Amino acid sequence: MADTATTAASPLSVQDMILALHAYWGAKGCLILQPYDMRMGAGTFHPATTLRSLGPEPWNAAYVQPSRRPTDGRYGENPNRLQHYYQYQVIMKPSPPDLQALYLGSLAAIGIDPLLHDIRFVEDDWESPTLGAWGLGWEVWCDGMEVTQFTYFQQMGGFDCKPVAGELTYGLERLAMYIQGVDNVYDLKFNNHGVSYGDVFLENERQMSTWNFEVADTETLFEGFRRAEAECRKALEAKVPIAAYEQAIEASHLFNLLQARGVISVQERASYMGRVRDLARGSCEGYMEKYRPEWEAKFPGWTA
């Protein structure tokens, strides 16, 4: 019981958990990046994952990505669901042979003892039709709770991953709730000086839920979607695929907002998703196209 007491006595705050993960992955050779400055649904959309998982060059990075899922908003009234939350994302290309061990090391670094907690790798394959991407892997369970998505990317943007990247996506709030033994996300200790997650984000959740569901001007959103789509195509023509990809991210988020506003019918939904997918895939293709000669020169025998 001594172990329980110590673990319970000094669990990491949200920010200390992030700092511990940064320190850990930084020491393992990952670049510690900052969040991408755009609204997106998941850490995978960050160009540091999507675009950098393309091509043969090694790439190791870790970062926090604020993730926005407008339809998950609950006006701050649900203890588990948020329209804005944090994902901790690690991408390592090629996937190192000891990626599982590295991952388990990171859990130990934030205070999870694998002889007190039941850590399991449970089959869960990942697919993002929007990104033309899929991979095999697991959801990692800690005492029955999914705390991380662990994926070996096999395809991105419709291209085979050569080489394969390993991707880890931690749900930070979930993990923090677990570590801190808290049932309501807003009760999380954000730091060790009396500031809670609710102090930081509760009002944000209320206002943003209201805006997402009730206020956002749908005509502006539709117009924004069309503009992002047009801008993406323009950027692709101009051979600036990174800029094109930003517009794909923008279109994807505007689509999510339109969904939250309930103005996209079931039939239209598939068509909008197809349009976003075309933008994202087009950007990946543009990116591959641009760097292909350089990569082929650097990695003899490599082909897209």
Partner 1 sequence: MGSEVPGVDGMSNSPTPFVSSEVETPGTVADFLLELRSEEIPARMQAGARADLEKLFRREMEAAGLAVGALTVWSTPRRLTLIARGLPLATQAVSEETKGPRTSAPEQALEGFLRKTGLTKDQLTERDGVWFAVVEKPGRAATDVLAEAIPAIIRAFPWPKSQRWGAASLQPESLRWVRPLSGIIALLGGEVVDCEIGGIRSGRTTMGHRFHHSGEITIDGVDDYAAKLRDAHVIVDHVEREGIVREGAKKAAADAGLVLVEDEGLVIENAGLTEWPVPLLGRFDEAFLEVPPEVIQLTARVNQKYFICRDSAGKLANAFVCTANIAAKDGGAMIVAGNRKVLAARLSDARFFWEQDRKTPLSVHAEKLARITFHEKLGTVADKVERVAKLAEWLASEGIVPGCDPAQARIAAELCKADLVTEMVGEFPELQGLMGGYYARAEGLPDAVADAIRDHYKPVGQGDEVPTAPVTVAVALADKLDTIVGFFGIGEQPTGSRDPYALRRAAIGVIRILQSGVRLQLARAFRLLAGEYHLQEIDREFGSFEQYLAETKSFDESGKADPGVPDPFAERFAFKLDAGPAELAFFADRLKVQQREAGVRHDLIDAVFALGDEDDLVRLLARVHALQAFVGTEDGVNLIAGYKRAANILKKEGYQQPFVSSEVETPAHGISTSLDANGLGAETEYTREPAEQALVDALDAAEPRAEAAVAAEDFTAAMAALATLRAPIDAFFESVTVNDADPAKRAGRLGLLDRFRAAVHKVADFSRIEG
Residue 75 binds partner 1 (CB under 8 A) = no
Applying CB under 8 A, which of residues 64, 82, 161, 236 lies at the interface with partner 1?
A: 161
CB of 135 or CB of 282, closer to partner 1: 135
> What is the closest distance, in whole angstroms, from the C-beta atom of residue 10 to partner 1 in the complex?
16
DSSP string for residues in the chain:
-HHHHHHHHSPPPHHHHHHHHHHHHHHTT-EEPPPPSS--SSGGGSHHHHTTTSSSS-EEEEEEEEEE-GGG--TT--SS--SEEEEEEEEEESPPTTHHHHHHHHHHHTT--TTTS-EEEEE--EEEGGGTEEEEEEEEEETTEEEEEEEEEEEETTEE-SSPPEEEEEEHHHHHHHHHT-SSGGGSBSSSSS-BHHHHHHHHHHHHHHIIIIIS-HHHHHHHHHHHHHHHHHHHHTT-HHHHHHHHHHHHHHHHHHHHTT-S-HHHHHHHHHHHHHHHHHHHHHHHHHHHHHHHHHSTT---
CB of 15 or CB of 154, closer to partner 1: 154
15-19 CB contacts, 8 Å cutoff, 24+ apart: 15/190, 15/191, 16/191, 16/192, 17/110, 17/172, 17/175, 17/176, 17/179, 18/64, 18/86, 18/88, 18/172
CB of 101 or CB of 194, closer to partner 1: 101
List binders of partner 1 among 138-157 (CB under 8 A): 138, 142-145, 152, 154
> What is the closest distance, in whole angstroms, from the C-beta atom of residue 268 to partner 1 in the complex?
12
> What is the closest distance, in whole angstroms, from the C-beta atom of residue 161 to partner 1 in the complex?
7
> What is the closest distance, in whole angstroms, from the C-beta atom of residue 146 to partner 1 in the complex?
9
Residue 37 binds partner 1 (CB under 8 A) = no
List binders of partner 1 among 202-241 (CB under 8 A): none
Residue 90 binds partner 1 (CB under 8 A) = no
Residue 96 binds partner 1 (CB under 8 A) = yes
Residue 117 binds partner 1 (CB under 8 A) = yes
> What is the closest distance, in whole angstroms, from the C-beta atom of residue 39 to partner 1 in the complex?
27
Residue 263 binds partner 1 (CB under 8 A) = no
Element (H, E) at 90: strand 84-93
Residue 264 binds partner 1 (CB under 8 A) = no
Residue 171 binds partner 1 (CB under 8 A) = no
Q: Are 273 and 144 in contact (CB under 8 A)?
A: no
Residue 79 phi, psi dihedral angles, 5° rounding:
-70, -10
Residue 297 binds partner 1 (CB under 8 A) = no
Residue 290 binds partner 1 (CB under 8 A) = no
Span of 41-49, 112-120, 207-215, 274-282 interacting with partner 1 by CB under 8 A: 112-120
Applying CB under 8 A, which of residues 34, 115, 193, 293 lies at the interface with partner 1?
A: 115
> What is the closest distance, in whole angstroms, from the C-beta atom of residue 45 to partner 1 in the complex?
22
Span of 116-124, 190-198, 212-220, 256-264 interacting with partner 1 by CB under 8 A: 116-124
Q: Which residues contribute to the site for partner 1 (CB under 8 A)? A: 1, 3-4, 56, 80, 94-97, 100, 104, 113-123, 125, 135-138, 142-145, 152, 154, 160-164, 166, 178, 183, 265-266, 299, 301-303
